[in-house]
């Protein structure tokens, strides 16, 4: 990071999100910390229930009751945003933070033309006339790869394919030139060939606009193709975070090793894919110590009683007692 721009676009510190029930508080996130720099794509990966989507929702202030942020901080370009009033947070959403969700049909109003929705969003956040906003909307549709945008701007969402609807959603997310985009499973509902196009588009946004991107997905192939760094989440915590090439090729945390070992390759070798035994624990039954220890073949006594904290190891941070032991022995 340069001296002129020292603050990361997004800085999450020791974030904790609880869901309060009659039986007590359930910790959906427990001490999550990471940063995203300008123009960087951070992939966030893990099984269902790991806390990926909750992290994204906490950042944009859309955690539904009975959930709430109970500790830690979230800063956007140096400004803390987790303690803002709802109205102030609403002004940040859409303008400074753009959002791309899994199902474009839930992001687009089926009763309005896509151009009307784009123009309304543009004029909400930018001081432009109707005519200037329409021109910007056409330019955005062209930028995200929609052909004949002058005609398609007056079409309704149902007149677009799934991939094209997702492009419209991306145009909506970037229309106010946000500093940060949160993309939550943006390719899951799309064909593989369309997925590749959307991945390429998200990468180009970060490069051309300098936008920071948090890409939430369970698909390691998407992470490997798109991200600069990757955070592997398990049971509401980050197990490992580092450069995507290092984590994919030489994962450190046993859970990350299991995820990477489950990816089929085209190398032609006949190795069996790795299977991680068991399942992610429920929020009401997270074990003591390391939450992954019941599924880990390397677990020892300390793993069952003491929770590991993320520690530097080479280019990465890893939350695993195996590396504490290795450093102690060195």
- Does a cis peptide bond (omega within 30 degrees of 0) precede residue 66? yes
Predicted pLDDT at 120: 94
Same structural domain, 66 and 140: no
User: What's the structural domain count of the chain?
Assistant: 2
The neighbouring-strand residues paired with 42 are 214, 229
Question: How many other C-beta atoms can be found within 10 angstroms of the C-beta atom of residue 277?
Answer: 9
Q: Is 221 exposed, middle or buried (0-12, 13-18, 19+ CB in 10 A)?
A: middle
Give the DSSP letter string of 193-255.
Answer: HHHHHHHHHHHHHHHHH--EEEEEES-HHHHHHH-SEEEEEETTEEEEEEEHHHHHHS--SHH
CATH number at residue 315: 3.40.50.300
Predicted pLDDT at 3: 47
Predicted pLDDT at 1: 46
Domain range for 308 is: 10-96+176-329
Same structural domain, 218 and 295: yes
Question: What is the per-residue pLDDT across 109-142, written as a single tens digit (0 to 9) for each?
Answer: 999 999 999 999 999 988 999 999 999 999 999 9
In a domain, 46, yes or no: yes
Domain boundary residue among 142, 175, 208? Answer: 175
Distances, alpha carbon 27 to alpha carbons 166, 170, 282, in Å: 32, 32, 10
pLDDT along the chain (330 residues), means of 10: 67 95 89 95 92 94 90 95 92 90 82 95 92 95 92 95 90 91 85 82 84 90 89 96 94 91 61 77 92 94 94 94 66
């Amino acid at each position: 990071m340069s001296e002129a721009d020292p603050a990361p676009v997004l800085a999450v510190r020791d974030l904790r999100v609880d869901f309060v029930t009659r039986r007590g508080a359930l910790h959906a996130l427990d001490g999550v910390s990471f940063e995203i720099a300008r123009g960087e794509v951070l992939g966030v990966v893990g099984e269902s229930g790991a806390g990926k989507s909750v992290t994204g929702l906490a950042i944009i202030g859309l955690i539904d009751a009975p959930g709430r942020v109970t500790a830690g901080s979230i800063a956007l370009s140096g400004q803390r945003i987790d303690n803002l009033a709802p109205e102030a947070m609403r002004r940040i959403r859409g303008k400074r933070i753009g959002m791309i969700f899994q199902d474009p049909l839930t992001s687009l109003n089926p009763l309005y033309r896509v151009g009307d929705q784009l123009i309304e969003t543009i004029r909400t956040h930018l001081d432009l006339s109707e005519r200037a906003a329409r021109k910007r909307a056409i330019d955005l549709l062209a930028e995200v790869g929609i052909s004949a945008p002058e005609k398609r701007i007056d079409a309704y969402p149902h007149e677009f394919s799934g991939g094209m609807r997702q492009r419209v959603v991306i145009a909506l997310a970037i229309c106010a030139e946000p500093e940060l985009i949160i993309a939550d499973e943006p390719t899951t509902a799309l064909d593989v060939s369309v997925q590749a196009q959307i991945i390429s588009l998200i990468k180009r946004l970060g490069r051309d606009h300098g936008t920071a991107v948090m890409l939430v997905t369970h698909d390691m192939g998407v992470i490997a193709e798109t991200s600069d760094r990757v955070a592997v989440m398990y049971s509401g915590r980050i197990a490992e975070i580092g450069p995507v090439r290092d984590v994919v090729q030489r994962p450190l945390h046993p859970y990350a090793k299991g995820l990477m070992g489950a990816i089929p390759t085209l190398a032609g070798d006949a190795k069996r894919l790795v299977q991680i035994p068991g399942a992610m624990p429920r929020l009401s039954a997270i074990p003591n110590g390391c939450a992954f220890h019941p599924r880990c073949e390397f677990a020892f006594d300390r793993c069952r009683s003491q929770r590991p904290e993320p520690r530097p190891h080479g280019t990465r941070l890893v939350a695993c007692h195996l590396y504490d032991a290795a450093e102690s022995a060195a």
